[in-house]
Homo-oligomer: A and B are copies of this chain.
Amino acid sequence: MTAEARALDRAIERVVTLGGLEERAMAVTSGRLDALTKPRGSLGRLETLAIQLAGITGDPSATFGHRAIVVAAADHGVVRQRVSAYPADVTPQMVANFLVGGAAINVLAARVGATVSVVDAGVAGDVPAVATGATGAASLIRAAIRAGTDDMTEGPAMSRDEAVRSIGVGLDVAAVLEREGIELVGIGEMGIGNTTAASAIASAMTGVPPERVTGRGTGVDDATHAHKIEIVARALAQNAPDPADPIGVLAAVGGFEIGVLVGLIVGAAGARIPVILDGFITGAAALLAAALAPGVASRCIAGHRSVEPGHAVVLERLGLQPLLELDLRLGEGTGAALAMSLVDAAIAIRDGMATFESAGVAGPEATEPV
Q: With a CB–CB cut-off of 8 A, which chain B residues contact A325?
A: 325
User: In the bound complex, do residue A39 and residue B93 qualify as a contact, i.e. CB atoms below 8 Å apart?
Assistant: no
Q: Does A5 contact B (CB under 8 A)?
A: no
User: In the bound complex, do residue B82 and residue A362 qualify as a contact, i.e. CB atoms below 8 Å apart?
Assistant: no
Q: Does A16 contact B (CB under 8 A)?
A: no
**A100, A218, A345 — most chain B CB neighbours (10 Å):** A345
Q: Does A222 contact B (CB under 8 A)?
A: no
Q: Does A146 contact B (CB under 8 A)?
A: no
Q: Does A9 contact B (CB under 8 A)?
A: no
Closest residue of chain B to A331, judged by CB? B42
Q: Does A328 contact B (CB under 8 A)?
A: yes
Q: With a CB–CB cut-off of 8 A, which chain B residues contact A86?
A: 39, 362-365
> How would residues 332 to 370 of chain A score, 1 for a CB under 8 Å from any chain B CB and 0 otherwise?
001000100110110011001110001111111111101
User: In the bound complex, do residue A368 and residue B87 qualify as a contact, i.e. CB atoms below 8 Å apart?
Assistant: yes
Q: Does A317 contact B (CB under 8 A)?
A: no
User: In the bound complex, do residue A42 and residue B218 qualify as a contact, i.e. CB atoms below 8 Å apart?
Assistant: yes
Evaluate whether A330 and B370 lie within 8 angstroms (CB atoms) in the complex, with A111-B344, A362-B90, A362-B93 already known: no
Q: Does A46 contact B (CB under 8 A)?
A: yes
Q: With a CB–CB cut-off of 8 A, which chain B residues contact A226?
A: none
Q: Does A219 contact B (CB under 8 A)?
A: yes
User: In the bound complex, do residue A361 and residue B94 qualify as a contact, i.e. CB atoms below 8 Å apart?
Assistant: yes
Q: Does A327 contact B (CB under 8 A)?
A: yes
Q: Does A307 contact B (CB under 8 A)?
A: yes
User: In the bound complex, do residue B42 and residue A361 qualify as a contact, i.e. CB atoms below 8 Å apart?
Assistant: no
Please tell me the number of chain A residues within 8 Å of chain B, measured between CB atoms.
Answer: 67
User: In the bound complex, do residue B39 and residue A329 qualify as a contact, i.e. CB atoms below 8 Å apart?
Assistant: yes
Q: Does A108 contact B (CB under 8 A)?
A: yes
Q: Output the least CB separation between A96 and chain B (Å).
A: 7
Q: Does A45 contact B (CB under 8 A)?
A: yes
Closest residue of chain B to A192, judged by CB? B362
Q: How far is the CA of A197 from the CA of B348 in the complex (A)?
A: 31
User: In the bound complex, do residue A107 and residue B37 qualify as a contact, i.e. CB atoms below 8 Å apart?
Assistant: no
Q: Output the least CB separation between A138 and chain B (Å).
A: 13
Q: How far is the CA of A100 from the CA of B353 in the complex (A)?
A: 10
Q: Output the least CB separation between A42 and chain B (Å).
A: 4
Q: Does A36 contact B (CB under 8 A)?
A: yes
Closest residue of chain B to A360, judged by CB? B93
Q: How far is the CA of A87 from the CA of B370 in the complex (A)?
A: 9
Q: How far is the CA of A37 from the CA of B106 in the complex (A)?
A: 12
10 smallest beta-carbon distances between A and B, as pairs: A102-B354, A44-B327, A107-B352, A39-B218, A45-B326, A42-B330, A93-B361, A85-B364, A87-B368, A341-B341
25 residue pairs bridging A and B, Cβ less than 8 Å apart: A37-B104, A39-B86, A42-B328, A42-B329, A43-B326, A44-B307, A82-B370, A85-B364, A86-B363, A87-B362, A87-B366, A87-B368, A90-B361, A90-B362, A93-B361, A94-B361, A97-B354, A102-B353, A103-B354, A104-B353, A107-B353, A108-B348, A111-B344, A326-B342, A338-B342
